[in-house]
Chains A and B, each alone.
Chain A
Amino acid sequence: MHSMFKRTAAALAASVALAAPVAAELTGELRIFLDTSNPAPRATMEAMIDRFAAQHPGLEIETTVIDREAYKTQIRNFLTADTPDVATWYAANRMKPYVEAGLFEDVSDLWAEPEIAENLASTKGAMTIDGKQWGVPYTYYQWGVYYRKDIFDELGLSEPTTWEEEKANCEKIVASGRACYTIGTKFLWTAGGWFDYLNMRTNGYEFHNQLANGEISWEDDRVKQTFANWKELIDMGAFIDNHQTYSWQEALPFMVNGEAAAYLMGNFAVAPLREAGLTDDQLDFYQFVSINPDVELAEDAPTDTFHIPANASNKEAAREFLRFVVSPDEQTEINNGANLGQLPVNAKSSVDNDKFLLQGFEMLSSNSPGGVAQFWDRDAPAEMAKVSMEGFQEFMVKPDDADKVLAKLERARQRIYDN
């Protein structure tokens, strides 16, 4: 279930002890908990920590890598007892329970330093609760439609930009015996991605945020419009059958085998698609089409973060580590294609020369005027996220029951937000 990996950097530290020590000498122990359990991110993080250790030979660093899914439940235990000095987590509402319980350290002082204030401004909002900052981001990635360019070429289609083009494309793809979109909703959150985009395109970023914060009824006509748009795609046969039985990884083969033409996903889907044999000529990316021309385009760009637990024992070293993680050079390094393959959070870093990263960066920095959302299960409170994503899945299987699903979500909203 969960893999642990411990290592002290003592040996490494000894080998560089002769190097000139940096400004303030850090001593003691620094315990870092990571949820980056997949092989590539894990290697990236370990290499980064090694570089940090080389700069601070007096510091004894202990790293623990916990399985990504198990981490989500274990964090509650280790923030209260046997606490590490640095821990990974997610931005926005996802960190709220821990902020409210006083388990994350207020790091507004770091954000006041010009080095961070100037270069990380774009992600400040996602790290802010009650006017204070509670951690630093280390990577983020775009969401959008990854599609099979060769299938589009074969059918004579081009990248759509409007809802009409989108539906026209989809009709042709369905007519060719394929599904337009692959998706696996077994773990629910993938349906949350679809809802994010459909709702933000139909009603705009502000409305979407208000809905996530429980300020708008789920039985509002505008929400119903979002579901009506969604239903158009479902009724057309746009999505693969039996998606409720697959995880997002199990949905990949449909696209690789050409049974589905596209996938609305985060950029992390590119690596497995390439590994499965799709070349960059076959695979391409477009921004989710606009639906309501009156609302500005807004995107999902989930941010992964580092935090200092309030009960940490070596906060000085932890702060130095956070500064190190967001520094321009480290950001360029850990987010490049050979490592995380995502976008750096520091404005002074450079984006790796990868066609998807470049397109994503371009899209987020210049074509997302409406705002940038984290993701449905990070923006909405945990309980609402769970209930609603279950509702989205039910709706995708039984689109005619939309009203029933929305009534259920409305009941949940009244219960969840009233306290």
Chain B
Amino acid sequence: MTVAVDVPEQESWFHKNQQRLAPWLFLAPGLLFFLVYVIIPVFQSFNLSLYEWDGLGAAEYVGFRNYEDLYWEWVDRDAFYVSLKNNLIWLVLYLLAIPAGLFIALFLNQTVWGIRLYKSLFFFPFVISQVVVGLVFTWFYDPTFGLLNEFLGLFGMGPLNVLGDERFVTYGIIFAGLWPQTAYCMILYLTGLNAVDPEQIEAARLDGAKGGRMLWHVILPQLRPATFIAFVVTIIGALRSFDLISIMTQGGPFGSSRVLAYYMFEVALSEYGFRMGYGAAIAVVLFLIMLCFIAYFLWSMYREEKGH
């Protein structure tokens, strides 16, 4: 019996398609994890939101009852309404981090002795943990010995219990959140400013542009990529604002500083939470809100790519 030793023209299937397969092979681990940890859970939580389940026993199918309950909470101006409203306040006010970050970046974008130190000092709040930020601001706002009230006292005002008053509490927490977020936007803009073309500035200066007009028509358009990223991270940061609320108020007083993410945690996973289905329904709502932004980001990124 003889064995055909040389089969040169019989290339393996893998060999033939190597070019096309290689990118998929490299993508495979990422895709797999994305599928298992992101895509599948999205559908799972939608499915779970149709059940009533305490996380221990058997789940009971209830159709859209959980959403109906959410709707009634909305009508009654109850917890869900408060959380959603706070989410919107977060979304709007958190964006202040972008102009604030830009302002500080412009201010720090100069060459004086020791500027690196100043830059890192401004960046410091982003480096420390959100938990620490939360604690520091809790003390800052403390009604009896907090710095804020000492300060207000100098002007004969106060005392103000920021974290204990349902009118101020959300703004108080957002302000604490702006501190690290501004630092983050600042660093994005600082790197962006490094890439600004000096020749264009020169040319603009020759044409007599300065101050605000220079910033608006020459610098900002060149900072577009940085602005885009700052916008994305700030929006996402606002929607998942959880740690500060958990540290500073636990959603209190009487639930007035809750946002959707925290409310979801509370009903499903906290000490008194046993309503997995309800938590999942809140998660779905939060996901739909995020989806609007995600769709917008993807669309504008796609447009950008096509433009090039």
Chain A interface residues toward B at CB < 8 A: 69, 72-73, 76, 79-80, 97-98, 100-103, 185-188, 241-242, 244-245, 377, 382-383, 385-386, 390-391, 393-394, 397, 408, 411, 415, 419
Contact = CB atoms under 8 A, between A and B. Distances in A.
A98 B250 CA distance: 25
B274 A383 contact: yes
A390 B161 contact: no
B254 A80 contact: no
B250 A101 contact: no
A310 B229 CA distance: 51
Contacts of A72: 271
A103 to B, nearest CB: 7
A232 B76 CA distance: 29
B147 to A, nearest CB: 15
Interface of B: 52, 54-57, 69, 76, 78, 142-144, 161, 163-164, 249-250, 252-255, 266, 269-275
A393 B271 contact: no
B104 to A, nearest CB: 31
Contact of B253 (A386, A393, A415): A393
Q: Main SS of chain A's interface residues?
A: helix
Contacts of A241: 143, 161
B255 to A, nearest CB: 5
B253 A101 contact: no
A242 B56 contact: no
Nearest to B131: A1
A188 B255 CA distance: 11
A69 B270 CA distance: 10
25 contacts: A69-B271, A97-B54, A97-B274, A98-B56, A100-B56, A100-B57, A102-B57, A187-B250, A188-B252, A241-B161, A242-B144, A242-B161, A245-B161, A245-B163, A245-B164, A377-B272, A382-B272, A382-B273, A383-B275, A386-B273, A390-B254, A390-B255, A393-B254, A397-B164, A397-B253
Contacts of A102: 57
Nearest to B78: A408
Given A76-B56, A377-B272, A383-B272, 16 more contacts: A69-B271, A73-B270, A97-B54, A101-B57, A103-B56, A186-B250, A187-B250, A188-B252, A241-B143, A241-B161, A244-B253, A245-B163, A382-B271, A382-B274, A393-B253, A394-B253
User: Which of B56, B163, B250, B269 has the most CB atoms of chain A within a 10 A radius of its CB?
Assistant: B56
B142 A97 contact: no
A80 B78 contact: no
Nearest to A76: B55
Q: Which of B254, B269, B273 has the most CB of A within 10 A?
A: B254
Nearest to A98: B56
B165 to A, nearest CB: 9
A73 B142 CA distance: 29
A265 B269 CA distance: 27
B69 A97 contact: no
Contacts of A390: 252, 254-255
Contacts of B142: 245
Given A69-B271, A415-B69, A242 B76 contact: no
Given A100-B57, A244-B164, A73 B52 contact: no
A96 B190 CA distance: 57
Interface centre among A97, A244, A408 (most CB of B within 10 A): A244
Nearest to B57: A101
Contacts of B273: 382, 386
Question: What 4 A-B pairs are tightest by C-beta distance, nearest first?
Answer: A101-B56, A394-B254, A386-B272, A244-B253
A394 B253 CA distance: 7
Given A244-B164, A408-B78, A419 B52 contact: yes
A185 to B, nearest CB: 8
Nearest to B256: A394
A98 B78 CA distance: 29
Contacts of B254: 244, 390-391, 393-394, 397
Nearest to B251: A390
Contacts of A397: 164, 253-254
B55 to A, nearest CB: 6
A382 B274 CA distance: 8
A186 B144 CA distance: 15
B242 to A, nearest CB: 15
A250 to B, nearest CB: 9
B124 to A, nearest CB: 24
B153 to A, nearest CB: 15
A72 B164 CA distance: 26
A135 B29 CA distance: 47
B76 A244 contact: no
Nearest to A247: B250
A126 B1 CA distance: 86
Contacts of A382: 271-274
Contacts of B76: 408, 411
A324 to B, nearest CB: 29
Contacts of A73: 269-271
Contacts of A377: 272
